[in-house]
Structure 1
């Protein structure tokens, strides 16, 4: 019984994680109507925040998670007040090629990265704009969720989309870099460019290197992405096959046990005689 539970745990846990993430991104659009301040005000504040931000990120040698190095000039609102919703979801990332549709939260704390993707504080908020670079990080290879597990399949020319407070921002991948463990990488704004960099660890299960996938904004946003915006990612079907498989193993195990038991008892009786 314990063996069956251990065998089926990854599949079941992954389903619950996907279910929760699908529910969150599905509610994201509905929650925008309830945000305070309203959507227009928060977007305006986010643009101002980015303008005041000396944006940057440092991926130090041997580090698995980048560290934001940007600072906000003046007395603007705090980072956690930006793009605020009741659920804490600040944006939504879609990568159709690898089936990613995940919520993005503030910060890159471990508990955050177990729930979804994290926006790196100190880099531009994911609302676009000239001379901005937003950095999004995520785990891969988790038993309970795929997250960025397939990010290594992304190549130059692929696209991804951010949905942030009703805005739809499409990006085309312009650079894919694998950073060595002893290499330090800095990520800064580039004049006139609207960039987003996605970061995760590699190789799968070893996590000694880092993958950096950078996309540049496509303008205007393709109609296909506009049409897909706000749509539900769909709650994945429960893996009933796993229950059936587990049930079959239990039945088979019970059959073997109750078949072998009388034979073993008869053999023991004979030996005693």
Structure 2
């Protein structure tokens, strides 16, 4: 760009306002997918480190699995209530006797990391933590205390829950797309368990539901809220254990997550920013020409008045 052309570029206030509004719209439009990608990426880092961390736990992984089996055997009820107008399931389960510290069983890290849940049909790959507090569900999926630990076994039913419809994380947002016959896997302390979905239901806010263990059956139930942004109903997806565990799932254990994938939002951001920049550059020259034209007309009008003064 030569000097004379550079001097001919001067975007006006209206052009800059339009550019600012366009950039603001671009940022607002890209924020959800950007935040969700960053959240998924951070969760993938946690999952990536999970299998390395369980080999340095104290007590050992074998001891914690033994404690988890004892906890499950001692669970007196294991029934989970989904109450009317309740936003989260609650458990009636209680362990008989004493000596169990829920938070220290299957604890791969100080923040309560328990395992990993993968739902291939909806690209979910999340860490599982102890409990279902707000702090836990902001980081990943939560295991409902009072339900069985997700380590398999006849007559057990573990309950895993996660948020849905968050602006900054996908979590279980697409759980409504899971269909009967789909599979999901749990990885817990170097063990992988595969479950085939046998039932999906939506519970109305005016209804109550009790989810119980079934004698002889090995079940896991996934729960989240629906509809998006309203969260008055609950989606309940139940899977039954496949034994033996499919070879493909055993081979995939401890693999790095393929979620969130390539950040396509970066391309949209670059394209949008270049588009706004091109608009400002183009309009800057057009604004400068209009300004010069107005100045020339004003100058010509002044000279005309000077040449023909009033009598």
Q: Do structure 1's residue 149 and structure 2's residue 173 form an aligned pair?
A: yes
Matches within 5 A, 1:254-269: 254-255=280-281, 258-259=284-285, 261-262=287-288, 265=291
SS at match of 2:56: coil
| CA positional deviation for 1:261 | 4.2
Cα separation, 2, equivalents of 1:268 and 1:106: 70
Q: Do structure 1's residue 219 and structure 2's residue 243 form an aligned pair?
A: yes
The answer to whether the Cα contact below 8 Å between 1:4 and 1:249 also exists between their aligned partners in 2 is: no
The answer to whether the Cα contact below 8 Å between 1:171 and 1:216 also exists between their aligned partners in 2 is: yes
The answer to whether the Cα contact below 8 Å between 2:26 and 2:269 also exists between their aligned partners in 1 is: no
Matches within 5 A, 1:180-191: 180-191=204-215
Q: Do structure 1's residue 19 and structure 2's residue 45 form an aligned pair?
A: no
Aligned with residue 71 of structure 1, among 83, 94, 97: 94
Query: Relative to structure 1, is the Cα distance of residues 134 and 262 closer, same or farther in structure 2, using a 3 angstrom cutoff?
Result: same
Q: Do structure 1's residue 37 and structure 2's residue 59 form an aligned pair?
A: yes
Cα separation, 2, equivalents of 1:123 and 1:135: 6
| 5+ residue gaps, structure 2 | 1-22, 302-311
Find the counterpart in structure 2 of residue 110 from structure 1: 134
| CA positional deviation for 1:221 | 0.9
SS at match of 2:176: helix
Cα separation, 2, equivalents of 1:256 and 1:210: 52
The answer to whether the Cα contact below 8 Å between 1:200 and 1:212 also exists between their aligned partners in 2 is: yes
| CA positional deviation for 1:65 | 1.0
RMSD: 2.1
| CA positional deviation for 1:252 | 3.9
| CA positional deviation for 1:11 | 1.9
Q: Do structure 1's residue 172 and structure 2's residue 196 form an aligned pair?
A: yes
SS at match of 1:33: helix
Matches within 5 A, 1:87-126: 88-126=112-150
| CA positional deviation for 1:3 | 2.7
Query: Relative to structure 1, is the Cα distance of residues 15 and 52 closer, same or farther in structure 2, using a 3 angstrom cutoff?
Result: same
Query: Relative to structure 1, is the Cα distance of residues 85 and 263 closer, same or farther in structure 2, using a 3 angstrom cutoff?
Result: same
Cα separation, 2, equivalents of 1:178 and 1:214: 12
Find the counterpart in structure 2 of residue 244 from structure 1: 270
| CA positional deviation for 1:248 | 2.1
**TM-score when normalising by structure 1:** 0.92
Find the counterpart in structure 2 of residue 234 from structure 1: 258
Instruction: Report the count of equivalent residues.
Output: 273
Cα separation, 1, equivalents of 2:284 and 2:183: 57
| CA positional deviation for 1:258 | 2.5
Give per-residue Cα distances to partners, 1:153-187, cap 9 Å, x unaligned.
Answer: 11111111100001111111111111011001111
| CA positional deviation for 1:259 | 4.8
The farther-off stretch of 223-232 and 246-255 is 246-255
The answer to whether the Cα contact below 8 Å between 1:59 and 1:66 also exists between their aligned partners in 2 is: yes
The answer to whether the Cα contact below 8 Å between 2:103 and 2:112 also exists between their aligned partners in 1 is: no
Q: Do structure 1's residue 60 and structure 2's residue 83 form an aligned pair?
A: yes
Find the counterpart in structure 2 of residue 4 from structure 1: 26
| CA positional deviation for 1:9 | 1.1
| 5+ residue gaps, structure 1 | none
SS at match of 2:36: helix
